[in-house]
Amino acid sequence: MKIIIIGAGKVGKSLAERLASESHSVTVVDINKTVVEDIVNTCDVMGICGNGALYGVEEEAGAKTADLVIACTHADEINLLICMLAKKLGTAHTIARVRNPEYEQQLRIMRDDFGLSMAINPEKATAREIARVLRFPTAIKLESFAKGRLELLEYLIGKGSRLDGLALSDLSSSVRAKVLICAVERAGHVTIPSGDFVLREGDTIYITASTQELKNFFSHLGALRAGVNSAIIAGGSNIGYYLAKELTDAGIKFTVIDKDPARCRHLSEHFPNELIINGDASDIELLAEEGITKTDAFVALTGIDEGNILLSMYAAKCGVGKVVAKVNRKSFSDLVSRNALTDTIVTPSAITADRILQYVRSMRTSPENGVKTLHQLVGGRVEAVEFTASAQTGLTGKPLADLSIRDDVLIAAIVRSNGRIVIPDGSSEIEDGDSVIVITMDKTLTTLPDIVRRGGSKK
């Protein structure tokens, strides 16, 4: 597809890299010549230096014949203007990054006026991801499929774990829970494991199951953490605001610490029953006064990656049960993950790119057969993709053992239309209307039939 990305910041660059790797024709537009040249030199994309909100620049970029324009500049208003202009020029689909909470209600009313196919709010999406992890603190990361019926959880096997030395073929009998370990990262190498794979201390594993089965699994291991009832949020940015809303809805008490008096007043008006402190979250004495040693969770959301990393490490040292840090730079994120410096890392640009990639994949097919949900795992090296099965795929009503499923694909779970979750084996069958969750290292899957080799069923 022909895709134009206007705005080459963290989100724009991440999208350019990932869309170009999927063989899309990508053009990047930005007013900063150095940034454009850097992306052109590192990715297989075209680059234009200019103001993407101008008719002539969008026309030069090819908006008249583009399949998609993605507006992700620093300003919401400019992004909306870009999409409106692109639609007038003839672009088939447009996506705008919109971050201001005050615009959300208006967007629902004015989506057609702006010509928007999709609006994505990185801060809100990030807050939801943090809230999911706080509801299940055992996880490093938690993703949902099939409208929340199925979870995919990331977990680090620690020292002394009962999983150390366990073969996957013995997993069900050992843990007495219906779960599937669908991917393993060990010493930087990623494996979609078979039954003879043996787990080791230090492995990062990815598990699919229902929420209740996950609780059974970790309870049996003696690794289930108690739920979060209180949290300290360092930083009252838009992510902090959205997270505060999520925690309020979940009945979790929280304290927000931020240096900006105006921001603190704004948060106090919206959350009058919570403690909002105008102060420096890196002040150790302040953190002690506010009970960092007694809180269940600590979330570092300041604007400085290094500060968030150090704060989260300090919180962990203070014995906080669940620690989350926002880290924007990929190099820092990789470093923290590799050395397990904090429980959970969230990167807004990566979360935003995931949502947009999901939409791009769905554009290639009909709504009935395309990608429903997409999450990237292990730093983007593995994908978890949800499809809806239909009789037209030719894959229903047959045991999975009779399907010629590709070597780089694992069917992690099947969710029936009635909500029942099937952790599949060779005798399981896909039925019409099922949600099928697929784990793969191939980033080009767009329909469910893509999981089988040419020829479909085995002879």
Domain ranges in the chain are 2-120, 126-221, 230-346, 355-457
CB burial of residue 152 (10 Å; 0-12, 13-18, 19+): buried
Per-residue model confidence (pLDDT) at position 209: 92
Does CATH place domain 355-457 in 3.50.50.60? no
Residue count of the chain: 459
The reply to whether 230-346 and 355-457 are identical in fold is no
Q: What is the pTM assigned to this prediction?
A: 0.84
Query: Reading across the β-sheet that carries 189-191, which strands appear in turn?
Result: 141-145, 150-156, 204-209, 180-186, 189-191
**What's CA 310's distance to the chain center, in Å?**
23
In angstroms, the Cα distances linking 240 to 99, 164, 303, 326, 332 are: 13, 37, 11, 11, 21
* 3-state SS class at 93: strand
Per-residue model confidence (pLDDT) at position 459: 42
Radius of gyration for the chain, computed over Cα atoms and rounded to the nearest angstrom: 23
Residue 182 CA to residue 273 CA, distance in Å, equals 42
In angstroms, the Cα distances linking 161 to 195, 227, 233 are: 19, 21, 30
The larger pLDDT score, comparing residue 417 to residue 285, is at 285
* The CATH fold of domain 126-221: Alpha-Beta Plaits (3.30.70)
Residue recorded with tokens 């600590």: 298
153 Cβ contact partners less than 8 Å away, ≥ 6 residues apart:
136, 138, 139, 140, 141, 142, 143, 206, 207, 208, 209, 214
Task: Transcribe 164-231 into DSSP letters.
Answer: TT-BGGGHHHHH-S--EEEEEEETTEEE---TT-B--TT-EEEEEE-HHHHHHHHHHHT-PPPPP-EE
Residue 125 CA to residue 104 CA, distance in Å, equals 13
In this model, does residue 457 exceed pLDDT 50? Answer: no
Residue 258 CA to residue 281 CA, distance in Å, equals 7
The larger pLDDT score, comparing residue 363 to residue 347, is at 347
Task: Find the DSSP H helices in 46-75.
Answer: 55-61
In this model, does residue 124 exceed pLDDT 50? Answer: yes
Task: Give the mean pLDDT of 56-65.
Answer: 96
CB neighbour burial string for 282-299, b if at least 16 within 10 angstroms, e if fewer: beeeebeebebeebbbbb
Query: pLDDT tens digits, residue range 300-359?
Result: 999 999 999 999 999 999 999 999 999 988 777 766 766 666 789 999 988 898 889 888
Query: pLDDT tens digits, residue range 133-165?
Result: 999 999 999 988 888 889 999 999 999 999 999
Task: Transcribe 413-424 into DSSP letters.
Answer: EEE-TTS-EE--
Per-residue model confidence (pLDDT) at position 455: 56
Of the listed ranges 100-109, 177-186, 192-201, 331-340, the least confidently predicted one is 331-340
Calculate ∠ Cα 158-161-164, nearest 5°.
95
- pLDDT class for 365, splitting at 50, 70, 90? low
Does CATH place domain 230-346 in 3.40.50.720? yes
Residue recorded with tokens 């790119």: 353
**What's CA 367's distance to the chain center, in Å?**
21
Query: pLDDT tens digits, residue range 401-452?
Result: 999 999 889 999 999 989 899 999 899 999 999 999 999 988 778 889 999 9
What whole-number percentage of the chain has pLDDT above 70? Answer: 95
- pLDDT class for 366, splitting at 50, 70, 90? low
* 3-state SS class at 255: strand
Please give the structure tokens belonging to residue 24.
């899309």
Q: In the CATH scheme, what is the code of domain 2-120?
A: 3.40.50.720
